[in-house]
Amino acid sequence: MAAAAFRIRRLDPSRFFPPSDPESVLRTHTCGQLRKSDVGTEVTLCGWVENKRDHGGAVFIDLRDRYGLTQVVIGPPEATAAQIENVGRVPAESVILIRGTVSDRLEGKSNAKLATGDIEVRCNEFEILNTCQTPPFTPGQSELPGEDLRLKYRFLDLRRSDMQRSLFLRSKIIKIMRDYFAEHDFVDVETPILGRSTPEGARDYLVPSRVHPGSFYALPQSPQLYKQILMVAGFDRYVQVAKCFRDEDLRADRQPEFTQLDLEMSFVDSDDIMGLIDGLVARTAKEVHGKDIQLPLPRMTYDEAMRRFGHDAPDLRFGMEITDVTEVAKKTEFRVFRATADAGNFVRGLRVENAAEQYSRRQIDELTNFVKDFGAKGLAWFRVEADGSLWSPVAKNFEAEHLDEIKSLMGGQPGDLLMFLADTWEVTCKGLNALRKRLGAELKLYDDDALHCSWVTEFPMFEKDEESGRWNAMHHPFTAPLKSDLEKLGSEPQACRAQAYDLVINGSEAGGGTIRIHDQATQSQVFGLLGIDEATAEDRFGFLLNALRFGAPPHGGIALGIDRWVMLFAGLDNIREVIAFPKTQKASDLMTEAPGNVDDAQLAELHLRTVLPKPKA
């Protein structure tokens, strides 16, 4: 085995024209490529030492690259005993180059789990391209280290096949999206990252200006205003995979910077946008999972979603819908039910099929505590006995006929649990939604790989801020009301529904959009309702209002949360698993140690001084 020189062979540029050729100059094949038909071929492979095994005087290496794993054998007669020993000392995760001959594996030694499992490469040249220090963890190890360590050594963590798979999937899904919209004549337009701060919505990230002392750019929370401008400019169909930023305290599935598929169309209505996205969902499901999705996707209104599921992003992978028993409650002697119903509030419940045996009284007490986290005062429950009667700690407060009526409304069958909240509409929605989701997961009411996509439409235009008593826009202040509700804008804004639509996948909001207001008069009226006076509106959105005066077409659009979308299609539940370099919940990058300190000179150039909070005593 000669000490191989680091040979560089010339590349024929025409080699790059046949598509999907992952070969490259230093190697003749990738580690995922060789098959039985290649036996006898001389090959050069490059990759990482995933595993080493000594066996029968030879060293077996599992050589890994992005494309797969190939078994390499360093043994006699190609290598001397000293060479074999040397190779045995190469640290795991080192990068090597080997040359050798593709050979059949010995009888019975094939590995059906591996695409290259029928062959091995008998090595006759071996070169270490780079050694690896003892790593804090290896990509192949079965148990994952803590997430902090993974993020600090992200270059090791990203070698894990799970991470590679989810980032390749991300790349693929974004490509599917781009191709789909290009086919539909969308123009990809980049909107600025250095924009203007608008004190609307979430907190902006600011960027101090050096040239304009005391002035700041803001990173965009979305390209909303720019895409509306593009419609006014006649672009007709705009799309962008856009980076967006929000300086908020982070929940588990939020990141300070996130990516959305952002689009806008002119001369369309809600149905156009939903129909367009229906097609994208179907194509993505087909290309990613090979699944056929029935179109059009199911649609329900916001009111219906709240009534049946208590939430505007219902998880439709399973049933267990909410039933309203307020009318019966009014008639019972059970004080909690009756007082609630008499006060104009609601008694609503879930039928938990066949769950009576699975939930002990102690477990039901636990569920009672659980719903209290969502504002409920308690959980009333009944068990449907074998004889069809309802048993409950509070059953004595009910007449038999009312128990029958409840059972019949709920469709209760022997073995079921019936669970009820008696409270305001909002609390029954929140509590029952949470309870339903928890029970759905605990009782495994859906397949892990189920994918259920649907639309929720006709959201309210406004929601009341209980503290100030003022109206807030439920989506954003540019959302158009339903044409049929236009007259209610003045008289009963609470009843005014929006031309708004959310895409829901597996109980998560995976996108949302609206048809926008395209005339100045309606826009002014909505601003008025939101308590935004003309001067304030001009100051904040002047350029958009200006644009509406110069020939704005009817238009609307949608934004899809790509991180969430990839997470759902990958069947994952941590958004950081689909982002190459995510931030922690403290908005830190543990690998680069961002954010970091900067020189005073840099701050002086930006006309800034830091005012650090006093250390706590």
Count the residues of the shown chain that bind a copy of itself, applying the rule CB under 8 A: 153
Strands (E), 246-334: 257-266, 299-301, 322-324
- Which range, of 118-126, 162-170, 370-378, 439-447, touches a copy of itself by CB under 8 A? 162-170
Nearer to a copy of itself, 38 or 236 (CB): 236
Whether residue 159 is annotated as binding a ligand: the answer is: no
If binding is defined by CB under 8 A, does position 357 make contact with a copy of itself? no
x/- letters, 104..123, toward a copy of itself (CB under 8 A):
--------------------
Tokens of 291: 């699944």
If binding is defined by CB under 8 A, does position 391 make contact with a copy of itself? no
If binding is defined by CB under 8 A, does position 60 make contact with a copy of itself? no
Residue of the chain from 439, 505, 552, 558 that contacts a copy of itself (CB under 8 A): 552
Q: Give the integer Cα–Cα distance in Å for 133 and 126.
A: 19
Report 559-588 residues binding a copy of itself (CB under 8 A). 579-581, 583, 586-588
If binding is defined by CB under 8 A, does position 257 make contact with a copy of itself? yes
**Tokens 């030879």 found at:** 58
Report 455-484 residues binding a copy of itself (CB under 8 A). 483
Per DSSP, helices labelled H in 380-474 are 400-410, 425-442
Nearer to a copy of itself, 229 or 429 (CB): 229
Paired with 70 in beta bridges are 63
Whether residue 465 is annotated as binding a ligand: the answer is: no
If binding is defined by CB under 8 A, does position 335 make contact with a copy of itself? no
Paired with 244 in beta bridges are 258
Whether residue 475 is annotated as binding a ligand: the answer is: yes
Whether residue 348 is annotated as binding a ligand: the answer is: no
Phi then psi for 611, rounded to 5 degrees? -120, 95
Give me the least distance between CB of 253 and a copy of itself, in Å please: 17
Strand order in the sheet with 380-384: 322-324, 346-352, 417-423, 380-384, 390-391
Which are the contacts of 383, defined by CB distance < 8 A and separation ≥ 6?
356, 390, 391, 392, 416, 417, 418
Report 262-291 residues binding a copy of itself (CB under 8 A). 265-269, 271-272, 274-276, 278-279
Q: Give the integer Cα–Cα distance in Å for 263 and 273.
A: 9
Q: Under a CB-based contact definition with an 8 Å cutoff, are residues 323 and 351 in contact?
A: yes
What is the amino acid identity at position 295? L
Residue of the chain from 57, 531, 551, 571 that contacts a copy of itself (CB under 8 A): 551
- What Å distances lie between residue 513 and 221, 262, 268, 454, 554, CA to CA? 15, 10, 13, 14, 14
If binding is defined by CB under 8 A, does position 237 make contact with a copy of itself? yes
Residue of the chain from 51, 197, 301, 522 that contacts a copy of itself (CB under 8 A): 197
Report 203-232 residues binding a copy of itself (CB under 8 A). 203-219, 225-226, 229-230, 232
If binding is defined by CB under 8 A, does position 202 make contact with a copy of itself? no
If binding is defined by CB under 8 A, does position 450 make contact with a copy of itself? no
| Longest Cα separation, the chain | 94
If binding is defined by CB under 8 A, does position 64 make contact with a copy of itself? yes
Residue positions forming the annotated binding site for L-aspartate: 200, 246, 475, 516
